Amino acid sequence: MTRGRWITPDETGDSNIARCLSVPEKLQPAVNWSLEQLTFAANWEQVGDLTPDECAEAMADVIAAYYESVCELPAEYPDNFAFFWEEMKVITGNALLVNLNTGIYYAMRWQQSAAAINDELEISCLLRAGTYLLTQIDHRSNVSGQQQWYVDGVAQTGVLELYNSSNQNNHITTKTMVIPDDGVHVLRSKVPSKNASSGGYACHITHVILTRTGA
């Protein structure tokens, strides 16, 4: 790696090499997320002919196959998942921009700029079936919208209110989410509405944690 990134090769090669991983249950989320880092173009530096985007797309297929693979050992599914907002993929709206501020956890938060109604982002994760508590560290303001979470396209109960009459850093917002079965799932965040007093649809978030609370 150069400057903290993987270097791109000239080509992906003509064949795949298969490996079977045997990971301790409580370390599996860390291993999964370490592999997920290869699916972000920002973690690649172009040295060979392949671009960072091409390497990230190729690794997305690798990760999908890894999640769906079955070996002789019984599968164990993680019961927690954490991510920074910058790791979300933009589906609708403008790109994510970082806001640096020493008064924020990790000194940064991200938002789509300029924000608009129906801004939408998603991220994939491997989780055990069950009920989860979603905890997100967000920023409330007088231009923030209302946020709706989805799991595999299914709207989760309750819209999150991100509006506040004055700026509020490091606000902790929680909600219950349902993961229907063991396996790979797509989490999606959307801003479909806003408080009548709000001047916009901003969604400023630092990080999100999902923790399984029951079957």
Q: What is the residue-wise DSSP string for 51-65?
A: -HHHHHHHHHHHHHH
Compute, in degrees rounded to 10, the torsion defined by CA atoms 94, 121, 2, 66. -150
Length of the chain: 215
**DSSP state, 141?**
B
**Rounded Cα distance, 39 and 53, in Å:** 9
CATH number of 80-214: 2.60.120.260
Angle between helices 28-36 and 52-68 (to 10 degrees): 150
Tell me the domain boundaries of the chain.
6-68, 80-214
Report the first-to-last Cα separation within the chain, whole angstroms.
42
pTM of the model: 0.71
Q: pLDDT tens track of the chain, all 215 residues?
A: 456 888 899 998 888 877 778 788 788 888 888 888 899 888 999 999 999 999 989 998 888 888 877 776 666 789 999 999 999 999 999 999 999 988 898 999 999 989 999 999 999 999 999 999 999 999 999 999 999 999 999 999 999 999 999 999 999 999 999 999 999 999 999 999 999 999 999 999 999 999 999 98
